[in-house]
Amino acid sequence: AQKVTQAQTEISVVEKEDVTLDCVYETRDTTYYLFWYKQPPSGELVFLIRRNSFDEQNEISGRYSWNFQKSTSSFNFTITASQVVDSAVYFCALSEEGGKLIFGQGTELSVKP
């Protein structure tokens, strides 16, 4: 069965600090996809990244970076030099090929000025 665990319920940082959001997943499939979404207070889910299980190359997009390690079943998300606008709930999610999207419980990030 699929499962996504985000052990950090809430994180609070001061602006310009770096912050890492952890995500650990479980799946029996060899082909699967991992996602990160941002959910601001307005409620919509903003897509950040999708990785497939065959691509372990880490990715950087501006202040965002992702570390995918199959050996530890982890897909962690780092925000460098955090800003107040980064305050939101962040969800890690998993889908097997052709399957449903399963979410972790989310991490609420608060960035204080």
Q: What residues line the site for another protein (CB under 8 A)? A: 32-33, 35, 37, 42-45, 47, 50, 52, 91, 95, 97-98, 100-106, 108
Q: What's the one-letter identity of residue 63?
A: R
Q: Measured from the CB atom, is 72 or 105 closer to another protein?
A: 105
| Minimum distance of another protein from residue 40's CB (angstroms) | 11
Using alpha carbons, select from 14, 6, 29 the residue that is nearest to residue 92: 6
Q: Measured from the CB atom, is 79 or 94 closer to another protein?
A: 94
Other CB atoms within a 10 A radius of the CB of residue 97 amount to 11
Q: Measured from the CB atom, is 15 or 99 closer to another protein?
A: 99
| Minimum distance of another protein from residue 103's CB (angstroms) | 4
Distance between CA atoms of residues 46 and 35, nearest Å: 11
Structural tokens at position 65: 């970076």
Is the separation of the CB atoms in 82 and 13 below 8 Å? Answer: yes
Q: Measured from the CB atom, is 65 or 95 closer to another protein?
A: 95
